[in-house]
């Protein structure tokens, strides 16, 4: 059985559940917006499916739902935001208030978010930067799930990297990809549904390929492109944890269970004013590149499926399992 909600109802449900689980109204609103945006784009693994974990972590204290992030400008075009063991989203929101004007003035600015948590879809944050006419780059680390190439013990997270580029017409172009073949949340969704995963997604604890999602969650994720993906994961780890003072992936507690303290992972965002580097015709130059891609039969820009899902969701709403809906309502009644 399924339930269908409007986007506004999804956001309201998420906010209510989080507030009922010891999260402040402001923090809950920030997280709920990102959940709604993920469902809007058809990225269900970062939408309502993630909400029960957020609620559990706020309830048990693994995440401080009442935390107030602290933002400090640490250089002429740099700032550091301490999430204070709370949700990443409100920390990023506060940091954006300084990051965007700094980037416009200085040409480029960087934001380091530390003592943080899962920030959801990284592309969501990059699109926010790009909507302001800036180019955004995002590096985010996660608890260990990828082994170094040739190893079996996880050292890196799935470590997504994302980029947002403004366009003259329509929504920004957004690239958002993990350093693994798929995001770990995709395997978690398969495990929840008791469905096998495709070959090539993950390895078991002995380093052998597996199609069992539970064995995959106990093992390691396959890096994107073999050793090159492992290298990309390390690059992101350096930027998201090394450059922010956050926990490295192998030091962070899991996003998936209630064990351990706060994961204290990190995010590192860069905002660039293309006027300062490419000149006033930057949008025309971007469009020349984009047209060269879309002009080829069968080719599409990154994020095309996400935008198609966005249009479809606006017409049809968000449909998900009734069991998940009932579980979320249970949190609202706490």
The alpha helices in the chain, defined as continuous H runs, are 7-20, 25-40, 51-60, 88-106, 122-130, 184-193, 213-218, 227-237, 274-277, 282-294, 304-316, 322-332
Which tokens go with 6? 């409007």
Q: Of the listed 186, 247, 253, 262, which one is catalytic?
A: 186
Residue 283 burial (C-beta neighbours within 10 Å; 0-12, 13-18, 19+): middle
β strands within 188-276, DSSP E: 202-203, 209-210, 220-221, 265-272
Active site residue 190: no
The structure tokens listed for 204 are: 């078991």
CA distances from 242 to 164, 176, 234 (A): 23, 21, 10
- Distant-in-sequence, close-in-space partners of 150: CB < 8 Å, separation ≥ 6: none
The two tokens of residue 205 are 């604890």
Compute how many other C-beta atoms are within 10 angstroms of the C-beta atom of residue 74. Answer: 12
Number of H helices, E strands in the chain: 12, 12
Query: What stretches of 62-174 show up as alpha helix (H) in DSSP?
Result: 88-106, 122-130
Do 250 and 148 contact (CB within 8 A), yes or no? no
Catalytic residue list contains 308: no
Question: In the annotation, is 71 catalytic?
Answer: no
CA distance to 94, 210, 290, per residue, from 300 (Å): 34, 31, 9
Q: In what order do the strands lie in the sheet with 202-203?
A: 209-210, 202-203, 220-221
Q: Which residues pair with 22 in a beta bridge?
A: none
Rounded to whole angstroms, the Cα distance separating 271 from 319 reads: 35
| Per annotation, catalytic residue among 24, 34, 44, 46 | 46
Looking at 24, 30, 45, 262, which residue is catalytic? Answer: 45
Which of 278, 263, 285 has the alpha carbon at shortest distance from 116? 263
Which residues belong to the active site?
Answer: 45-46, 186
């Amino acid at each position: 059985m399924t339930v269908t909600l409007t986007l506004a109802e999804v956001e309201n449900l998420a906010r209510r559940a989080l507030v009922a689980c010891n999260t402040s109204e402001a923090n809950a609103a920030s997280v709920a917006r990102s959940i709604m945006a993920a469902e809007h784009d058809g990225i269900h693994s970062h939408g309502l499916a993630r909400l029960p974990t957020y609620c559990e972590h706020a309830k048990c204290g693994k995440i401080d739902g009442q935390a107030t992030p602290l933002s400090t400008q640490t250089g002429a075009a740099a700032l550091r935001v301490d999430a204070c063991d709370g949700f990443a989203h409100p920390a990023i929101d506060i940091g954006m208030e300084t990051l965007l004007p700094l980037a416009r003035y200085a040409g480029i600015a960087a934001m380091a978010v530390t003592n943080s948590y899962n920030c959801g879809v990284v592309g969501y944050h990059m699109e926010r930067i790009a909507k302001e006419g800036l180019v955004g780059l995002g590096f985010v680390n996660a608890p260990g799930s990828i082994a170094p190439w040739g190893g079996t013990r996880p050292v890196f997270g799935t470590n997504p990297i994302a980029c947002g580029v403004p366009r003259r017409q329509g929504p920004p172009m957004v690239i958002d990809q993990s350093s693994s073949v798929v995001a770990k949340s995709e395997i978690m969704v398969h495990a929840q549904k008791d469905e096998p995963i495709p070959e090539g997604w993950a390895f078991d604890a002995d380093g052998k390929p597996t199609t069992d999602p539970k064995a995959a969650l106990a093992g390691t994720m396959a890096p994107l492109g073999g050793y090159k993906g492992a290298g990309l994961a390390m690059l992101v780890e350096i930027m998201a944890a090394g450059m922010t003072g956050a926990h490295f992936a192998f030091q962070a507690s899991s996003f998936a269970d209630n064990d351990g303290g706060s994961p204290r992972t990190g995010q590192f965002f860069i905002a660039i004013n293309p006027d300062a580097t490419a000149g006033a015709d930057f949008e025309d130059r971007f469009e020349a590149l984009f047209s060269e891609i879309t002009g080829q039969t069968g080719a599409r820009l990154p994020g095309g499926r996400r935008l198609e899902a966005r249009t479809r969701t606006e017409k049809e709403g968000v449909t998900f399992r009734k069991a998940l809906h009932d579980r979320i309502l249970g949190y609202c009644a706490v």
